[in-house]
Structure 1
Amino acid sequence: MLIEVIIKQYLDEHLDAPSFFDYPDNPPRRFVLIDRTSGGESERLPNSTVALQSYGKSKYEAMVLNDDLKKVMRNMEELNEISKVSLNADYNFTDLERKQQRYQAVFDIYHY
């Protein structure tokens, strides 16, 4: 199964905001976008770098969702398909095109 699909299923089960692969036509108040930015392999173990963008109506709302998201992602290692999850970067990433508040957390994920 694709790592993006595994992440989406896990977030949808454990986070109190929906997640999407594409920006939704009618976005909810808070949501997360999933984007795999790169990938590779180390000793035959696939790894992926994934950017997760937390959107909110206010900067505070986006910040809180980002913090909740990081807590949920730390627990993904409980899945059989995931070997390791580590936070690579975490920062304010305001969406200037849509004029929306957004934070981004980038994770390195080792998976099977």
Structure 2
Amino acid sequence: MILEVIRNFLATKLDCKIVMERVAKMPDKFVLIEQTGGGKREHLKSSTIAFQSYDSSLYKAAQLNEAVKLAVEMLVELDDVSSVSLNSDYIYTDTESKKYRYQAVFDIKHY
């Protein structure tokens, strides 16, 4: 599963918790990854993945977002991934939990 491959890779590149779902008690700093879409063409899978960077301040969330983008771009080093492309990148403060958050969305082609 590509999300597990991505989570394991990011865990080696970033100094925070990488999760695929939120639980009641989360640390101030973490990255939530979600697959928002996907497809397959000529045996090559494509996934649209959202990376939500949370931290204790807007500035720290922005810094984490930049680190996440750099790490995600390095996914092409893996045999399972053929290309990575930034789709969008924006501030996405969580109004429900009142936590600072940025979101970067990538299109990832993989096997």
Establish whether TM, by shorter chain, passes 0.5.
Answer: yes
| Structure 2 residue runs without a partner (length 5+) | none
Q: 1:21: Cα distance to partner?
A: 0.8
SS in 2 for 1:16: coil
Corresponding position: 1:45 with 2:44: yes
The aligned residue for residue 33 of structure 2 is 34
Matches of residues 5-84 of structure 1 in structure 2 within 5 Å? 5-84=4-83
* Equivalent-residue separation in structure 1 for 2:37 and 2:10 (angstroms): 20
Q: Does 1:106 align with 2:105?
A: yes
Cα deviation digits, residues 50-79 of structure 1 (max 9, x gap) = 001000110001000000000001111000
Counterpart-to-counterpart distance in 1, 2:9 and 2:23: 19
Q: Which residue of 1 aligns with 2:85?
A: 86
CA distance in structure 2 between the partners assigned to 1:64 and 1:72 by the alignment: 13
Q: Which runs of 5+ in 1 are unaligned?
A: none
Structure 1 residue 29 displacement after superposition: 2.1
Task: Report the Cα offset of residue 92 of structure 1.
Answer: 0.2
Aligned to 1:3: 2
AA at the equivalent of 2:30? F
State the distance in 1 between where 2:2 and 2:25 align: 25
CA RMSD of aligned residues (A): 0.8
Q: Helix, strand or coil for the counterpart of 1:104?
A: strand
Q: Percent identity?
A: 45
Deviation at 1:17, TM superposition (A): 1.2
Measure the CA separation in 1 of the matches of 2:75 and 2:4. Answer: 13
